[in-house]
Structure 1
Amino acid sequence: MSVRDLIVLGSASAVPTKARNHNGYLLRWDGQGLLFDPGEGTQRQMAHAGVAANDVTWICVTHFHGDHCLGVPGIVQRIARDGVEHPVNAVFPASGAQYWERLRYASAFHDTEVVREWPVSGERTELDLEDAPFSLVARRLSHPVEAYGYRVEEPDGVTMLPERLAAKGVRGPLVRELQERGRVTAPDGATVTLDECSTRRPGQKVAFVMDTRRCDGVRDLAAGVDMLVIESTFLDEDSPLAARFGHLTAGQAGRVAADAGAGHLVLTHFSERYRAEDEHRFEDEAAAAFGGAISLVHDLDRIPLPPRRAAKPRPPQ
C-alpha cells in the first residue's frame, strides 16, 4: 500500500529541549523515504517512530549547521550495519563537501557502497533520477552559511473519463492503447485523442524550507505546493533577531504560504527561547496571514499529504 506522509523526528532549532529533539523529517512517498536534515539523535527518534534505516532512500541536508546534520554519522552507519541494499541518494551543498566527508566517515565502521553523493551548487539544481517517481529541486536560500531548500515534485498525470470514452466508443484494450500512444482509431473509424477523454491530474508537490530569510529561493520552492514544511524559528516580535541570524518568523512563514498558494502549512524549527505556553502564538501569527490548514508540529507527529488538487476537465470536443 502506498503511503505519503511526513514523520517529524525532531522540531527544535539550534538547542534541543526536553520536548523537542534536533531536526529530522522523513517524507514517505510511495516506497521512497526522504530524510531531511538529520540532526543529533535522529537514529533514536526513528526507533520511537517505528521506521528503520531500510526506509531511507534519500538523505537531504540543507546546510552544515549542527542541528541539521549531526545525525548523519549515525544514519549512514546504521544503513551500513543493517545491510541496506538499495541506493541511498545523499544531497548536500557542494560548498560543504568537507563537512559531509567528516560526517560521512566520523568514526570507524564497516562501510557501505550504497550511498550515492549528489552535491548541489549554483542558484538551482534539479535531480531527476530514473528510479525516483519525482524530481528533486534544490534552490539556494539566504543564511549566514550556504543553504538550500528542496522541492519534491511529481509529474502531472491523467485521469480517464469513462463517460467520454463510452461516447467515443473506446473500450477494452483500446483504452490502454490510448493511454500509451495518445490516440487511437475508434470502431467507427474516427481518431480519438487522449485529450478528448481525460483530464490532467496535477502531480503532488512538497517544499522543505529551513534556515533562511525571505528570498527568491523561498518563493520559488513554495509556489503552488500541496505541503510547505518551513521553519518558524521566531515570533514576529523578534523579527530583528530573525533577520540578523537568517531565519523566518511565524508570521513570515504564513505570508510565504499565502503568497505561494500553498495547500498545507507545516511550522517547525522552534527556538528554545519560547515557553510551551507560547506555542499557540506561532500558529496565531501564521494564521493571520494564511487561511489554509496549519500544523504546528511536535516530535513524532505524522502528517498525511493533503488530497490531490482537482483539475478542471477539458471541455468535450
Structure 2
Amino acid sequence: MSDRELVVLGTASQAPTRRRNHNGYLLRWDGHGLLFDPGEGTQRQLLLAGVASSAITRICLTHFHGDHCLGLPGVVQRLSLDRVAHPVHAHFPASGQAWFDRLRHATPFHDVLDVREHPITADGPVADEPHLEVRRLDHGVEAYGYRLVEPDGRRMLPDRLAAAGVHGPAVRELQRTGSLGGVALEEVSEPRPGQKAAFVMDTRLCDGVHALAEGVDLLVIESTFLDEDADLAHTYGHLTAGQAGAVAARAGVRTLVLTHFSQRYPDPARFGEQAAAVFGGDVVVAEDLVRVPVPPRR
C-alpha cells in the first residue's frame, strides 16, 4: 500500500446513483489521513474501502451543501465509538459555524472524541503538519479549496556520500547541519521537489482554482457537467470536464482526477474524453472505492 494515495469514497454530485455514493475522499499522506467533504454514506464507504476510522486525522469541508457534509455526523460518531485517541482537526468555512455545530452534535451520543475546530476566514495556510493551504472558490455559498504542499528537500546520492567518506549516522548529521567535516550537503545531494496535491470542489472558474492547481502532482477536481452544458455549469457554480482539463494543462498537473458527476449523464467515459482533449497527462475518471496513488516524485 502506498504511503500517499487517494481513496475515493464517493463520486456523485447532488443526488447519488446506484453506482455512485455522495462525495467522500480520503487522502493518505504518510501518517496523516485527510478526509475531504464526507457526504451521506461516508461511514459505510470507509468500511467497504477497508479504511479504519483511526486513519482520519483531519476533516476538511469545502462548503456546507448537503452532498459535501451530511456524512459528518456519522463519521464523528464512529470516531467516538471507536475511541480514536488522537485529536481530529476540522477545517471549514467560518461562515458555516452554525451548520458545523449542528452536524457535530446532530444526535445524542457518548462523545469522547477530541475535535479541534479551525474555521477558515481567508486564503492562506491553515495547518503546518502537513502543510495545508486554502483558496476561496466561486460557488453559491462560501467555499474553499485545499492544497497540500510538501516542502522541497534534497535527495542524498550514495556514490557521492561514499566518495566523501560519509556514512551511517553521519549522513543524518550532515542533513541536519548542512556541512560536516568539510563536506557540504550540496556536494553529496541534489534538489528533491516536494510533492503537492489539491482538492477543488464546487466552483466556477476563478483565480482560486488556478492557484490551487499550480504545479500539483495530484489534482482532484469536480467536473459536474459535460462541455455541451457549460451554461448550466456556470449558472449553478460548477465546472465542466473540459474546463477541468484546461486547468490541469495550464497548471502543469501530473495526474488529474475527475469527480462529482451529475446523475444526468449515463456514460462517465465522456468526462475523461473531454478532459483528455485538452490535457496530455494522466486522467482518472473516478469511481467509488478506487485508489489513486500520488505520482512518484519527479
After TM superposition, the score normalised by the length of structure 2 is: 0.97
CA RMSD of aligned residues (A): 1.3
TM-superposed CA distance for 1:261, in Å, is: 0.1
The yes-or-no answer on 1:223 pairing with 2:219 is no
- Which aligned pairs between 1:1-317 and structure 2 lie closer than 5 A? 3-122=3-122, 124-129=123-128, 132=129, 134-185=130-181, 191-275=182-266, 278-309=267-298
Cα distance between partner residues in 1 of 2:271 and 2:97: 35
Q: Secondary structure at the match of 1:259?
A: helix
Cα distance between partner residues in 2 of 1:161 and 1:228: 30
| Paired residues, number | 298
Q: 1:2 to 1:252 in 2, by over 3 A?
A: closer
Question: What residue ranges of structure 1 are gaps of 5+ in the alignment?
Answer: 186-190, 310-317
Give yes or no for contact 2:224–2:239 (8 Å, CA) kept in 1.
Answer: yes
Give yes or no for contact 1:2–1:29 (8 Å, CA) kept in 2.
Answer: no
Q: Secondary structure at the match of 2:212?
A: helix
Give yes or no for contact 2:174–2:185 (8 Å, CA) kept in 1.
Answer: yes
Q: Secondary structure at the match of 2:9?
A: strand
After TM superposition, the score normalised by the length of structure 1 is: 0.91
Give yes or no for contact 2:79–2:113 (8 Å, CA) kept in 1.
Answer: no
Give yes or no for contact 2:2–2:293 (8 Å, CA) kept in 1.
Answer: no
Q: Give the counterpart letter for 1:219 in structure 2.
A: H
Cα distance between partner residues in 2 of 1:73 and 1:216: 32
Cα distance between partner residues in 2 of 1:27 and 1:269: 16
Give yes or no for contact 1:139–1:149 (8 Å, CA) kept in 2.
Answer: yes
Give yes or no for contact 1:257–1:290 (8 Å, CA) kept in 2.
Answer: yes
CA displacement 1:52-99 (0-9 Å, x = unmatched) = 211111110000000000000000111111100001110000011111
Q: Give the counterpart letter for 1:227 in structure 2.
A: L
Cα distance between partner residues in 2 of 1:62 and 1:98: 15
Q: Secondary structure at the match of 1:90?
A: strand
Question: What residue ranges of structure 2 are gaps of 5+ in the alignment?
Answer: none
Cα distance between partner residues in 1 of 2:90 and 2:168: 44
Give yes or no for contact 1:2–1:31 (8 Å, CA) kept in 2.
Answer: no
Give yes or no for contact 2:227–2:241 (8 Å, CA) kept in 1.
Answer: yes
Q: Which has the larger radius of gyration?
A: 1
Q: 1:173 to 1:218 in 2, by over 3 A?
A: same
% identical equivalent positions:
64
